[in-house]
Amino acid sequence: MAKTAWERMQIVREKNRPTIRDYIPLIFDEFVELHGDRGYGDDGAILGGIATIKGMAVTVLAHVKGRDLKENQASNFAMPHPEGYRKALRLAHQAEKFHRPVICFIDTPGAYCGIGAEERGQGEAIARNMMEFMSLKTPVISIVLGEGGSGGALALGVCDELAMMENALYSIISPRGFAEILWRDASREQEAANVMRITAEDLVNFGVAEAIIPEPQGGAHLDHDKAADAISAYILKTIPKYMQNPIAKLLQNRYDKFRKIGKFTEQKGANPV
Amino acid sequence: MLQDLFSKVKSRVSVDKHIQAKSGVNIPSDLMFKCPRCGKVEFMDAFQMHNKVCSNCGYHARLTAAERIEEIADNFTFTEYDKHMKSVNPIDFEGYPDKILQQRRRTGLREAVITGECQIMGHPCALGVMDARFMMASMGSVVGEKITRLFERAEEKNFPVIIFAASGGARMQEGIISLMQMAKTSGAIGRHSQKGLLYITVLTDPTTGGVTASFASLGDIIIAEPKVMIGFAGRRVIEGTIKQRLPDDFQSAEFALQHGFVDMIVERRDMRKTLAQLLRLHSGEVAYHG
Ligand SMILES: [Zn+2]
C-alpha cells in the first residue's frame, strides 16, 4: 500500500531525517563551501559550493534544515532571504562558466516572510532565479529531499530533471496554509495534505517530476547511508544523460518541460469540469 | 473584440468589502467610494471623473481590465488573444469548478487576465491586463498559459510587451500546477528578452505572492501606480511572524521605489503617454543610424 501524503509528512518530519549537511559527506568525495551573494550578505538558509562525485566536479546548491534549535537558528529553518537566492544564482553562473553541472537539493517550508525579505526584494530574487536558471548553459538536476514549499522551493527547482525522494512532498503552500486559506481552518491540515496531490507519484503523474529515489524501508531517517547511496546512484546515472546533450537542445528541452505544464480548455462555451 | 468585452463587463469599481464591513456604515457601493487607504468617502461620480483616484490621498483604485484597456490602447486597435481559454480542475479540488462559474457570472470575465495586441499612441505592442475581481487575479493554468503565449507571440512578431499586473498570488485550487506557472512565464520572458525585446510591467493594486515572484518583477522597466500594494508575503503573515504591527507604507509603491524595486511611480493620467514615450525610446525611431 502506498503511503498517504499525511503519512509521508510524518516521515519527513522525523527528527533524524537526514539534512543536506548529513548527506554531503556521504554523497560527495570533496566539498568546498562558498559563501555570500556579493551584494548584501550570506544566508545560512541556502548552502552552496563545489563538490566532486566519483571524481566529477559539480556545483551543489541546497536549502539547509537544522536538526536542533541552534542549527535551525543559523539556517532560519531553511527559509531563505533574497540574498540566499542571489547566492545560489551567483554560484549557478559560476558553474556555467566552468562547465560544471548543478545539483540543487530542495528542502524548505518556503521563502521567509519578513520585513528584511520584503525590503530586499524576495519576489524579485525568486523571479530572477527562475528566469536565469531556465537559460543556464549547463545541466541542472533538482532533488526534493523532504519538503518543497512554494516559490521558495521553485527558486532552486528550474531544472532539466526533478527527482523526489520517495517520501518527499512538493506543494504550492504547506497543507496547513492551504487549509487556512481555502477552508479558514488550519486544523484541517491532514485533510489538506491528502487532497493537494503532493506526493512523488502525484508529481510524476503531473509531469512536474521525472524520477523517484527510493528510501530505505520506513524512511531515510532509519538508514542515512542507504538513502545517500540511492541519491548517489541517481546522480551518477542522470548527469551523463544531460552532459551529452548539445546546449541548445538541453535548453529547449528544459523550456519544454515547464512549457507543457498547465490544464485548461479552449472549447467555446465549455463549462469547467 | 473589445466591444464584445465591454458588453459583458459591467463597469464598476471594486470596493474592499472587508473595509466596508469594518466601517460599520452601510455605504451603497454604487453611489459612494470609500478609500481603503485613507477612509475618505466621496461620490462615485466625482471619483470616476478623477480616474478612480482618491482625491484625498492619491490612492489609485483598482480598474477592471476593460477600463484599463480603454484608457491605454488607441481606439479600436485592441485584438484579444486566447479569449476562449478557461480553467478546468487539474487537481480535482472539490468546489473549484463552482467557484469558477460563480466568478465568471459575477464578473462577466472568463479568467483573471486579458491578453492581446494593440497600439499605444501608434506604437504596436502586446498587452496583458489582470483583473483583480476574478478570484483576486490569482495565477492558475489559464493565467500562466495566456501570459506565456503573449510573450511567445510577441517574440514572433517582434513586439514589446506591457503587462498591468495585479494578483493575490498563486491559485491554490490548482495546487502544484499553479506553482509551475511561475517558472513557465519566467522562462517565456527570458526568451523574449534574449531577442532584445522590451518588457514593461506596471504594478497595480495589489501585486503580491507568486505573481510578484515571477513575471511582475521581471520587466526591463517596472512602473507602479501611486499608493498601490506591492509585496511578496501577505501583510498579516508577516505581522504574525514578527508579532508587531507594520507601518502603513510597508509594501506600498513608494516603499518599493525607495528600496530599488521599481523604476518609477506614474500617475494614471500620465500612464498612456509615459508608456508611449518608453515604447518610442525603444523603437527604430531613436536607434543609432551611424
Ligand atoms: Zn484615499
Q: pLDDT-derived band of residue A271, with 50, 70 and 90 as boundaries? A: low
Q: Is the pLDDT of residue A3 over 90?
A: yes
Report the distance separating Cα B112 and Cα B82, nearest Å.
Answer: 13
Question: Do residues B36 and B140 both lie within one domain?
Answer: no
How many other CB atoms are found less than 10 A from the CB of residue B57? 13
Decide if A187 touches B, using CB distance below 8 A: no
E runs forming strands in A86-127: 102-108
Question: Do residues B48 and B183 both lie within one domain?
Answer: no
Bridge-partner residues for A211, per DSSP?
A: A163
* Under 8 Å between Cβ of A40 and A86: yes
> Which residues in chain A touch residue B231, judged by CB atoms under 8 angstroms apart?
118, 123
The DSSP output letter for B208 is -
pLDDT per residue over A244-262, tens digit each? 999 999 999 999 999 999 9
pLDDT per residue over B11-65, tens digit each? 333 434 443 444 444 555 678 999 998 999 999 999 999 999 999 999 999 999 9
Of A115, A157, A171, the CB nearest to B238: A115
Decide if A15 touches B, using CB distance below 8 A: no
Please give the interface size between A and B, counted as residue pairs whose CB atoms are below 8 Å apart.
192
Decide if A121 touches B, using CB distance below 8 A: yes
Question: Do residues B141 and B2 both lie within one domain?
Answer: no
Position B217 in a domain: yes
* Under 8 Å between Cβ of A126 and B213: yes
Decide if A247 touches B, using CB distance below 8 A: no
Position B290 in a domain: no
Give how many domains chain B has, as a whole number.
Answer: 2
Which pLDDT score, from 0 to 100, does residue B242 have?
85
Mean pLDDT of B226-249: 91
Question: Do residues B92 and B230 both lie within one domain?
Answer: yes
Question: Do residues B57 and B72 both lie within one domain?
Answer: no
Which pLDDT score, from 0 to 100, does residue B26 have?
54
Report the distance separating Cα A170 and Cα A8, nearest Å.
Answer: 11
**Average pLDDT, rounded, for chain B:** 90
H/E element, B174: none
pLDDT per residue over B168-208, tens digit each? 999 999 999 999 999 999 999 999 999 999 999 999 999 99
Q: pLDDT-derived band of residue A268, with 50, 70 and 90 as boundaries? A: confident
pLDDT per residue over A102-151, tens digit each? 999 999 999 999 999 999 999 999 999 999 999 999 999 999 999 999 99
The DSSP result for B31-74, as a single string, is TEEE-TTT--EEEHHHHHHTTTB-TTT--B----HHHHHHHHSP
Of B84, B193, B217, the CB nearest to A124: B217
Which pLDDT score, from 0 to 100, does residue A44 have?
98
Largest CA distance in chain A: 60
* Under 8 Å between Cβ of A62 and A104: yes
CATH of the domain at B247: 3.90.226.10
SS3 state at A142 = strand
Report the distance separating Cα A141 and Cα A159, nearest Å.
Answer: 5
Question: Do residues B110 and B203 both lie within one domain?
Answer: yes
Position B288 in a domain: no
Regarding pTM above 0.90, the answer is: yes
Q: Is the pLDDT of residue B113 over 80?
A: yes
Which pLDDT score, from 0 to 100, does residue B241 have?
82
Which residues 57-116 on chain A approach chain B with CB closer than 8 angstroms?
A: 111, 113-115
> Model ipTM?
0.97
Question: Do residues B94 and B124 both lie within one domain?
Answer: yes
- Per the structure, the complete domain to which residue B39 belongs is given by 1-61
H/E element, A141: strand A140-149
Question: At the topology level of CATH, where does A5-100+112-211+225-256 sit?
Answer: 2-enoyl-CoA Hydratase; Chain A, domain 1 (3.90.226)
Length in residues, chain A: 273
Percentage above 70 pLDDT, chain B: 90
> Which residues in chain A touch residue B90, judged by CB atoms under 8 angstroms apart?
206, 262-263
**Average pLDDT, rounded, for chain A:** 96
E runs forming strands in chain B: 32-34, 41-43, 79-81, 86-87, 113-120, 123-130, 161-167, 199-207, 221-224, 264-265
Question: Do residues B134 and B162 both lie within one domain?
Answer: yes
Q: How far is B54 from chain A (nearest CA, A)?
A: 26
CB contact under 8 A, B86 and A265: yes
Which pLDDT score, from 0 to 100, does residue B27 have?
53
The DSSP result for B120-158, as a single string, is ETTEEEEEEEE-TTTGGG-B-HHHHHHHHHHHHHHHHHT
* Under 8 Å between Cβ of A65 and A78: yes
Mean pLDDT of A215-222: 97
Question: Do residues B67 and B182 both lie within one domain?
Answer: yes
Which residues 130-159 on chain A approach chain B with CB closer than 8 angstroms?
A: 130-132, 134-135, 150-151, 154, 157-158
Strands B221-224 and B264-265: parallel
Q: How far is A25 from chain B (nearest CA, A)?
A: 31
Question: Do residues B135 and B241 both lie within one domain?
Answer: yes
B264 Cβ contact partners less than 8 Å away, ≥ 6 residues apart? B223, B224, B257, B274
Report the distance separating Cα A33 and Cα A52, nearest Å.
Answer: 12
Which pLDDT score, from 0 to 100, does residue B287 have?
85
Which pLDDT score, from 0 to 100, does residue B9 have?
35
